[in-house]
Each structure stands twice: as structure tokens, then as C-alpha cells.
Chains A and B, each alone.
Chain A
Amino acid sequence: MFARVSNLALKWTQNELKARTSLYDSVRTLKQIKIHENEKQIVVEGERIESPRKPYLVKPPPVADEKASKACPLCRLDLKRLDYTDILILRQFINSDGTLMSLQDSGLCGRKYKLVQTLVNKAQKCRLLPRPPHYQVYGPWDNFNTYYDWPPRYRDQPMRVIRPEYWK
């Protein structure tokens, strides 16, 4: 892959690509992108690398049934009470910019994908995982430390006590 561009545009693309490659480097994707610079051209090359996750993959528990062996890895592991605080697990299903992987990329079944989606949303709300760009922040209250408690407690209900005109 290569491209020819004017000098001005070249600088702009250079910066952007550098930013992108740094992202790629930190995540260590399967495709390592390399840039070769000449006087008038930039060559961007996608190099295949071995997956960094390979040595640390969990061996799923053995199952007798053939049908069960086709289940998604999270279903087969059968983790008890996966929560939003287990960010080292949830991190495996997000991209480098903080967005959630697609269903196809994640390799999960629909139910578990939904679960992971809610948990990732919670973790991002509590700022345990990095928030994606353009994450909707409605006010300064979203930037303070928060947590989800289970079972939820209702200490009092000021929403009912306080008249709506005083809400801010």
C-alpha cells in the first residue's frame, strides 16, 4: 500500500499516521503497520505478527457433549458473578480507543455480548475503563467517583422530596 501526496498534505498525514501507529503499537494487534518514508512517497505496510495473547489463553474446561463444545468461551468458562469491577477481563473485549468490539470480533454469543456490553458501560461510567472519544458527559457529576452497589440501597429519595424547580 502506498500513496502520493503533496508536501503540505504529507505532513498532515504523517502526524495522523504516527498517532495511529502509536495506538497500534500499544495494543499489539495482529497486523503491525510499518511506514517507510522516502523523499516523495510514504509506504504504509501491514505486517502480520503472532498474537500476543497466545501464551496466556485459558484452556476451556473439557465437555463430553459435542454441542456444548461449540458454545462461546465465556459460556464455557461459566464465571460466577462477572462484575463491572473485573476490568482485566472486560478489557479484552474493547478496542484501543475504548469502544466495544463488534459481536463478530469478540467471539461471544449474543447473551454474553449483551452482558459484557452493560458491564463495560458501567465500568466506563465509573471511569475504571478508558472512555471512548465523544463519550457523552452530561455534567460535572459524571466526572466524580461513583460506584454501582448490589443490592441497590435507597437511603432516601430526594427526587421526590425536592420540588423539580429546584433541580439543577
Chain B
Amino acid sequence: MSNLTKFRRTQQWLTFARLWYLYDATYQDVFDSAIVIAQYLRGMNKPIYDHVRQDVGNHVVVINTSKVSMPVDEWKWRMYSHHSRYGGGQTWAAAHELHSKDPTIVLYKAVYKEVGSAPRAVNLIRSPTMARLHLFPDACIPPEIKANICDQIRQVQPVLKSLKDYSEEEVEKFPKIVDYPEDYVVK
């Protein structure tokens, strides 16, 4: 740092600044969005990124993790294993079980895998990288974290709209294909 002058120093500061990104996980596929989030966490969106072990990553704040989606029935058959390191200590849990216990853990595990699930001694960069991931089950963020955010990550797929999301007027004035038949009775 000593040979940097004041302007160069601030340019350096800007180049290596850790940026704070926001990601809205509503109706987003867990594993697709984990790929994108991991890229931002490791700083792969930066032009200075050169190597896996570089510590140039960003912060990512993920909101609405309880509303993440999976393809149909994947909640049922996606299994997570855990071994207690005792004999017969292996246990298995489905994704929906984990998700109902902790609405952030499915996304956490997916990002963990993308960052690199090699042992801690090999992947030295993982624990500081995962520490930069902030997961929130709903849209409530603490104000001190909200103030840090500078940008948002584009979602990986369009958010599906249910009938409740449309207003009554919108539904009523939408072009109708067929009229009701004569003597129509609602069952």
C-alpha cells in the first residue's frame, strides 16, 4: 500500500470492494438459483476474478427463501443424508422435511454444494464465502443489512402468478373465449 498514491489507493479500494446483492427467491428453482448465487458469492462476475482460490467475493442477501420452488414432486424425492460418524449413524431426510423445519436450509445446502463441497482443508475459501451469504425466510431484512445493499441479481425464471395475485377487475375484463351456456348452474 505504501507505493500507492491517494487516487490509486481509492481505485484499488473500488476494484476490490465487496458489493452487496439482493436476490428474491420467490418461485425460483433452488438449484438453478444456487448456481447464480454461488457465482456472485465467489466474485465470478468481476473482471478481476482469475482463480478459484481468489478471495474477491461479494455478499448476497436472499429473501423469501421459504417460497423457493422445485420441479413437481422433487420436494418428495430429493433426499439429504447425514452421518453422525458412529456405526449405523446415517440418517436420511427428504427436502420437504428439511424445508418445513428450517425454510433456509435447502437453499443453503444447494449453494454450499456449488461453492465446492471439498473438505475444509482443501477448499480453504468456502467458509469465508458461505459467511457472506445472508438468508431470510421472508421479505423482512434487518435495517442495517438493508442499508448495505447496492444491486440485485436477476431471477433465473419468471415468477408464476396465481389467481389471487390478479385484481378482480383484471380478471373480469380479461378477454373471454366462450360465453356461459344457457341455463348454466354452478355446482
Contact = CB atoms under 8 A, between A and B. Distances in A.
B92 interface: yes
**Which of A52, A99, A106, A147 lies at the interface centre, i.e. has the most chain B CB atoms within 10 A of its CB?**
A147
Contacts of A54: 179
Contacts of A127: 162
Contacts of B78: 158
Contacts of A77: 177
Given A129-B163, A144-B99, A159-B77, A56 B175 contact: yes
Interface residues of A, number: 55
B187 A148 contact: no
Interface residue range, chain B:
35 or more
Given A141-B94, A146-B69, A85 B75 contact: no
Interface of B: 27, 29, 31, 67-79, 92-97, 99-100, 157, 160-163, 166, 170-187
Nearest to A24: B186
Contacts of B178: 57, 73, 92, 106-108
Contacts of A89: 174, 177
B69 A30 contact: no
A68 B27 CA distance: 41
